[in-house]
Amino acid sequence: MPEFCSAEREGRVLVVTINRPERMNALHSPAHFELSAIFDEFENDPDLWVAILTGEGDRAFSAGNDLRWQAEGGTRDRPETGFGGITTRFNRSKPLIAAVNGVAMGGGFELALASDLIIASENARFALPEPRVGLAALAGGLHRLPRMIPMKQAMGMILTGRHVLAEEAKSLGIVTEVAPPGKSVDVARRWAGEILQCSPLSIRASLQAVMQGLNHASVEEAMNAEYPAIVRMRESEDYIEGPKAFSEKRAPQWKGR
């Protein structure tokens, strides 16, 4: 059983909770490997279609790297899948929603940036403060943030380490929706429910096309690229079920195959 996080099935949704509130849900090597194993299982389980990642308590989603663990002589080992088991999981095929409660600092912010949607409680606070302690946001923050929001706004955060509250983060385009205090996971569940109304293979095809398409310089190149998930979608039973259900004026019965 995991010691530093938990994973609860809610139908086709997996809710993953970082459980180190005494350390503001900061991550150390054992937590990285636990989370990586959980997301490996999520990726390989055909019955799970969406994941939600959050932190225990209202104070923090994750304060990032556990510097105290490091100062105490702890190892800095990480899995190949990166910080929290997701920041370098570039082959991830299923939607991931970050439900941010409290602070998301440094690596914690990078976990959220590596997700597909960010639901932030009103008390959420985002920052990449690494330069203030002689470090840099090398778990994807320096590359993902400028791809998500205007460059000058991103550089304003990166070069100062300033804190951005939930409402400003939404206005910048970082946050999908701001939730009432303590309700980020509930709102994330609502978004997950809306995703589950869609064909899971269509969702995976869309996710792959978006993420891999960003590797191409032009829209033309992106549209002409090959995406295996689109092939799987077109060869699936769901590809037939969707139009059939629409013509019969009923809800589709998705099988994920």
Q: Is the pLDDT of residue 75 over 80?
A: no
Domain 5-196 has CATH 3.40.50.2300: no
Name residue 87's amino acid.
Answer: T
Q: Which residue has the tokens 């998705």?
A: 254
pLDDT at residue 72, rounded to an integer? 81
pLDDT at residue 50, rounded to an integer? 98
pLDDT at residue 200, rounded to an integer? 97
Q: Is the pLDDT of residue 47 over 80?
A: yes
Paired with 111 in beta bridges are: none
Residue predicted with more confidence, 75 or 136: 136
Residue 96, C-beta contacts closer than 8 angstroms, at least 6 positions apart: 50, 51, 52, 53, 86, 114, 115, 116, 117
List, by residue number, the catalytic residues.
110, 130
pLDDT at residue 209, rounded to an integer? 97
pLDDT at residue 103, rounded to an integer? 97
Three-class secondary structure of residue 50 per DSSP = strand
Name residue 240's amino acid.
Answer: I
pLDDT at residue 255, rounded to an integer? 93
pLDDT at residue 68, rounded to an integer? 85
Q: How far apart (Å, rounded) are the C-alpha atoms in residues 25 and 27?
A: 6
pLDDT at residue 184, rounded to an integer? 98
pLDDT at residue 207, rounded to an integer? 97
Number of DSSP helices (H) and strands (E) in the chain, helices first = 11, 10
Query: Distance of CA 200 to CAs 12, 128, 149, Å?
Result: 10, 33, 28
pLDDT at residue 109, rounded to an integer? 98
Residue predicted with more confidence, 67 or 110: 110
**pLDDT tens digits for range 233-255:** 999 999 999 999 999 999 999 99
Residue 218, C-beta contacts closer than 8 angstroms, at least 6 positions apart: none
pLDDT at residue 71, rounded to an integer? 76
